[in-house]
Amino acid sequence: MRVTTKGQVTIPKEIRDKLRIGAGSEVEFEDREGVIVLRARSDASASEMSTFREWASSVAGKADFRGMDGKAYVDWLRGPRDDLDNG
């Protein structure tokens, strides 16, 4: 791998694919006791978070708690606890 006069190098495709590095991805170089490590924050994590937010938004307010408050509903979900309920 050769460094250009501008100090640039090309990250090999197999490394870009493995680390999910695409155009616009942020990368960092870290010196760990003389070993230089490339750290990447991929675009995929941003798109996955976006997908999660879309899902969370689509299900917001759709839970049926059967008229119970949060604590009562969780207690109902868990069922009786032998170590707490003595009869």
Predicted confidence (pLDDT) at residue 82 exceeds the cutoff of 80: no
Which pLDDT value is given to residue 47? 64
10-18 mean pLDDT? 90
Q: What is the DSSP string of 22-85?
A: -TT-EEEEEEETTEEEEEEE-HHHHHHHHHHHHHHHHHTT----TT--HHHHHHHHH---TTT-
Q: What is the pLDDT of residues 15-72, one digit of tens each?
A: 888 888 888 888 888 999 999 998 887 555 666 667 888 888 888 888 888 889 889 9
Dihedral sign (CA 55, 57, 62, 63): positive
Q: Where are the domains of the chain?
A: 13-78
